[in-house]
Amino acid sequence: MAVAEEAAAHVRARRPEVFGNVGKRAGSGDSVASKSTPTDPVTVVDTESEQVIRDRLAELRPGDAILGEEGGGEEDSAAEVRWIVDPIDGTVNFLYGVPAYAVSVAAQIDGVSVAGAVVDVAARSTYAAARGGGATLTDADGRVSNLRCNPVTDVSMALLATGFGYGAARREAQGALIADILPRVRDIRRIGSAALDLCMVAAGRVDAHFEHGLSPWDWAAGSLIATEAGARVRIPSPQTSSADGDVVVAAAPGIADALDALFAEIGVDAPIPEG
C-alpha cells in the first residue's frame, strides 16, 4: 500500500508541474505520446510513476518479478511473486484534469492476486485488500472503513459502470451493447478508470462493472478489492490478452445471477477482439 501511495504522491505533485493547474491543452507538447491508437495516451508522468514503483519494489522485494503497463515484464520469470503495476489508470482523465485516475499495484502468486492497493490520486484515498482478509478504504484524513457491496437485489435498480476500448471497431461493438443494457438498469456510468470502477463496486458507489479488453494491470488489484468486499468477479484466463477482448465483470452478490443472465442474453459474455 505504501508503494502505491508514494507513486500517487508523485503523480499528484507532477500534474501541475507538467500540465499546469488549468493550463495547457491536453495532449500538447513533448510530455504526451500515443500507444495503441492516437486516443490511447501515455505521459511522462506515467513512466515516472512506474519507475518510482519499480525502484521501491526492487529495494523492498528484490527478486520479485514486475509487470507494468509502461515497462512490461518478463513473462517467463521464475519468481514466486509477481507485481502487477498500473502507474496511472485513467490517463485521459489525468491529461484533462478530470479527478478520476489512480495508481494500482497488486501482488500475484501463480497468477492469483493476493494483495492489492488502488490509490485514488485526486481524492487522496486508498482502497486495499489482502486475499481472505477483507477490503478497506483509507480516506484523506486517515480514517479506515471496511468495504461491502451494496445490498441491491433488482437489476433494474442497479447502477452499472463500464469503459470503452481505444479501437473504433471495439468501441462500436461496446456501444451497441450499451444500447441494449441501458433500458434495463437504473443507469450506466463511464468514469474512465477500470481500477476505480472495481473499487466503487466494493464501496457500494456502483453496483456492478463490466468491460471488454482490459489488461491485467487494469484489474489485478481492483478485482481482489471487489471480491473481498463481497462482489462476484469474473476475470480473463491467464492464457488470453487484452487483444482477445474478454470481459471483466464485478457485481454485487444480490444481482450477480440476474446480471449474468442479462449479459448472456444480450451477448456481453462474448469477447470483443481488437479489429
What are the binding residues for Mg(2+)? 69, 86, 88-89, 218
> Strands 208-212, 81-89: parallel, antiparallel or unpaired by DSSP?
unpaired
SS3 string, 83-95, reads EEEEEEECHHHHH
> Strands 81-89, 102-109: parallel, antiparallel or unpaired by DSSP?
antiparallel
Q: Rounded distance, CA 4 to CA 91, Å? A: 16
Q: Rounded distance, CA 80 to CA 245, Å? A: 28
CB atoms closer than 10 angstroms to residue 255: 25
Three-class secondary structure of residue 226 per DSSP: helix
Contact 105, 85 (CB under 8 A): yes
> Cell numbers 469503459 correspond to what residue?
163
Q: Which residues are annotated as a binding site?
A: 69, 86, 88-89, 218
Q: How many CA atoms lie within 13 A of 32 on its CB side?
A: 19
